[in-house]
Amino acid sequence: MVKIISVNPQAEKLKKEFSLSYLKSSFAELDSFSKLMGVTFLLLLTITPILVYNNVLYVTQPNASALFEMVNPIDQTVILKNSQIMLQVKSYNSSIKKVSFFVQGKQICSISSYPYVCLWNVPNFAHTKYVVEAKAYDKSDNVISNQVITLTTGN
């Protein structure tokens, strides 16, 4: 396939107008529900930053500084003592090359591929608070982001 690149501004304008008219005519043929869904998608697309990496679509958070977030468990969760908990972070940035998980400041695992999931064996102590931290590293092992949550064991 040969792609022709035009430097003629008039040709570029006609190309954009043709694309827009094709989109309008295609949209006119849709039923009302499909139109509503299309408009909703376009609205969300324009107000929500999106990152595409390796053909995977990531919807980024409104807080642009957030490179990832702890999605399991959530902050202030009461967990069972003497159980196994899955710690998981969701990445919003392709520059993350490794995520390490820490409990009470001690590293329990380090994951270098998505999904960033770690299993933690919760000690057999009731009514104990645990500080869980996830740190994201770039390819040079520099910490580029971290997130801290607190978990408490029940009876």
Taking CA atoms, 49 is separated from 3, 56, 129, in Å, by: 29, 14, 36
**Same domain, residue pair 43 and 75:** no
Q: How many domains does the chain have?
A: 2
Q: Determine contact, residues 102/146, Cβ cutoff 8 Å.
A: no
Amino acid identity at 69: E
pLDDT tens sequence for the chain (155 residues): 444 444 555 555 555 555 556 666 666 777 777 777 777 766 555 555 554 444 455 444 444 445 778 888 988 989 999 999 999 998 877 788 899 999 999 999 999 988 899 999 999 999 999 999 999 998 888 888 888 999 999 87
CA-CA distances (angstroms) from residue 65 to 45, 94, 119?
20, 13, 27
Instruction: Identify whether residues 117 and 42 lie together within a single domain.
Output: no
Question: Which distant-in-sequence residues (6+ apart) come within 8 Å of 75 by Cβ?
Answer: 149, 150
Cα–Cα distance measured from residue 88 to residue 21, given in angstroms and rounded to the nearest whole number:
45
Rounded distance between C-alpha atoms, residue 123 and residue 137, angstroms: 27
Bridge partner residues of 67 (DSSP) = none
Residue 53 lies in a domain: no
Q: What is the pTM of this model?
A: 0.57
Range of the domain at 19: 9-47
Q: Any idea what the Cα angle at residue 36 is, between residues 32 and 42, rounded to 5°?
A: 140
Shared domain check, 112 and 79: yes
Is residue 107 one of the residues assigned to a domain? yes
User: In this predicted structure, what is the pLDDT of residue 152?
Assistant: 92
Question: For position 46, what pLDDT does the model report?
Answer: 56
